[in-house]
Amino acid sequence: MQTRIRLSIVALLALGAGPHAAAKDMTADQVADKLQKIYEQTKDFKAAFVQEYHSKALGSTKTSSGFVYVKKPGLMRWDYKTPRPKFFVADGKALFIYDPDLEQVMVDRSFSGSDLSTAVTFLWGKGKLRQEFKVSFAEGGDAQHYLLELTPKSRARFNKLWFKVERKTFRVVETVVEDPGGNTNTIRFSKMTTNVGLKDESFKFQIPDGVDVIEAPDR
């Protein structure tokens, strides 16, 4: 479960939206710079998502959906609606993973300092795409979309990222993350809005009474 949410977090690294002129004959680095600029101007965003996690070993795919909310710096919430409710909340100090069916909350108090730093620092508004990743075009782009392939320059918990980027708006509409085991986490975004004034209170998590609380080991 922790692996899936970390891959989901990675998928949000370059989310940002806004109207821009269509690009012609741009290089992969130039597209990445556009994403960087958009994201630096994004204070918060929310979106609906559909997530497909494919297990290479099992040859199976699990699909889920819900809504995601992010506010810089360091606030994030994933509300899963299907196939059953789950909640992932990062309040800037810890990550809370709440499964109502299991009546269980996992608390990761070292989340913000994890070794996903190449990804998290960008999400938190501190990193630079082209400093952290080798950027190139991947096969699969079309007349409406670029397909960027990003390979971490330093050690990370994932092998590669792919961003499907709208040519006209530079919005990231789909992300794919591949982990060292060959598993892939695909997220398709819709109904994206940015700079809507999300409140800090939306990212506060109160542990429900009567649930089991599991503290993740320090890293």
What is the residue extent of each domain of the chain? 2-215
Instruction: List the one residue out of 187, 141, 128 whose CA is nearest residue 161.
Output: 187
pLDDT at 142: 86
pLDDT averaged per 10 residues in sequence order, the chain, 219 residues? 54 41 72 85 90 94 94 89 95 93 93 51 65 90 91 86 88 88 92 92 95 88
pTM: 0.81
Instruction: List the one residue out of 8, 65, 58 whose CA is nearest residue 182.
Output: 58
CATH class (in words) of the domain with range 2-215: mainly beta
pLDDT at 22: 40
Region at 170 (left for phi over 0; alpha for psi -120 to 50; beta for the rest): left
pLDDT at 23: 43
Long-range CB pairs of 53-58 (<8 Å, 24+ gap) are 53/4, 53/7, 53/183, 53/184, 53/185, 53/186, 54/183, 54/184, 54/185, 54/186, 55/183, 56/181, 56/182, 56/183, 56/184, 57/181, 57/183
